[in-house]
Amino acid sequence: MAGSQVTSDGARGTGSIGAAPGYRPSATLPFAAEFRRQASRRRTQLALGFMVLLPLIILIAFQFDSGNDDDNGRGEFGSLIEFATTGGLNFTLFTIFVSASFLLVVVVALFCGDTVASEASWGSLRYLLAIPVPRARLLAVKLLVALAYSALALLLLAGTALLIGTLRYGWEPLRSTVAAQLEPGEGLLRLLAVLGYLAVVLLVVAGLAFLLSVTTDAALGAVGGAVLLWILSSILDQITALGALRAFLPTHYSTAWLGLLSTPVQTDDVVRGSISAISYATLFWGLAFWRFTRKDVVS
């Protein structure tokens, strides 16, 4: 860490004592200003751009592989590929399936883990606080913007997949290995429910990455740390010897969204997973605010 303590609002104060006439803490760092500021960053543009590009890559890959039906028919993954080419909804479901376990985790960790740590690494964090922006407000705005971009990335991925999948394969019923065929209208609602649940589950990644972001000045460390801890939790969840302890892992219910596709809909694990994710996210965000409002900002 470089630099020295220069923040005027301090770790515990609001900066209201001796403030200029008309100064209102709530008017500092507006959400729209931070949203535009993050939109101008290269990592935001690349991440959102890749969310649009990935469905196109998958679609092109299917076209190149269209004549290799024998290989596609082998195994569960081959069955998913066969379903993916039977309609826009099925193509969207496949895209979500291949992205949920890693890609979306990385993207959410990038938006939430880079947001504060990058400011510290550039040496601009102390100047933001010296404007002065109250620490709690700075964190809240940055968190909300990071969550907004995370949600936008998820919507761009699903929306692009649905659009190009429908144009290429048509508006057909939703099919999967865990449910009866669903009419397009109901299938679309099921997909929206899946996206909603994934958004809730990814709050754990958002909370962990945000906590690491206020703990370190290295943005890569915050992003990578959140991803690695998520992977570690996923590995531990596969160890059956842990028994009931696995239910307390943040990744234990990460695939419960499959129950939203079954007939009838299975929501027990979805409810448990939502409670677990919100609890973990709230804990991590609480620790982040507690840590940041009490630390010496020296970068």
- The 10s digit of each residue's pLDDT in 135-148 is 888 899 999 999 99
Q: How many whole angstroms separate alpha carbon 127 and alpha carbon 192?
A: 41
Number of domains in the chain: 1
What's the mean pLDDT in 21-40?
77
In a domain, 237, yes or no: yes
In a domain, 276, yes or no: yes
In a domain, 128, yes or no: yes
In a domain, 179, yes or no: yes
What's the mean pLDDT in 153-166?
97
90 close to 83: Cβ distance less than 8 angstroms: yes
Q: What is the dihedral of CA 262, 231, 54, 49, to 10 degrees?
A: 120
- Could you report how far apart the first and last alpha carbons of the chain are, in Å? 6
Report whether pLDDT(134) > 90: no
Task: Name the residue range of residue 247's domain.
Answer: 29-61+69-292
Environment class of 262 (CB within 10 Å of its CB; exposed 0-12, middle 13-18, buried 19+): middle
pLDDT of residue 20: 55
pLDDT of residue 127: 64
What's the mean pLDDT in 113-124?
79
3-state SS, residue 11: coil
Q: Which residue has the higher pLDDT, 34 or 297?
A: 34
CA atoms within 13 A on the CB side of 222: 30
In a domain, 254, yes or no: yes
In a domain, 48, yes or no: yes
Q: Which residue has the higher pLDDT, 123 or 92?
A: 92
pLDDT of residue 137: 87
What's the mean pLDDT in 230-246?
94
Q: What is the dihedral of CA 105, 110, 111, 114, to 10 degrees?
A: 150
Question: How many other CB atoms sit within 10 Å of the CB of residue 201?
Answer: 28
pLDDT of residue 153: 97
Transcribe 197-232 into DSSP letters.
Answer: HHHHHTHHHHHHHHHHHHH-S-HHHHHHHHHHHHHH
- Quickly tell me which residue has 């960790």 as its tokens: 109
Report whether pLDDT(152) > 90: yes
In a domain, 35, yes or no: yes
44 close to 110: Cβ distance less than 8 angstroms: no
Q: How many whole angstroms separate alpha carbon 227 and alpha carbon 235?
A: 12
What's the mean pLDDT in 45-64?
94
Q: How many whole angstroms separate alpha carbon 276 and alpha carbon 117?
A: 26
The per-residue pLDDT of the chain, averaged, comes to: 84
Report whether pLDDT(276) > 70: yes
Nearest 5°: phi and psi at 179? -150, 160
In a domain, 6, yes or no: no
pTM: 0.86
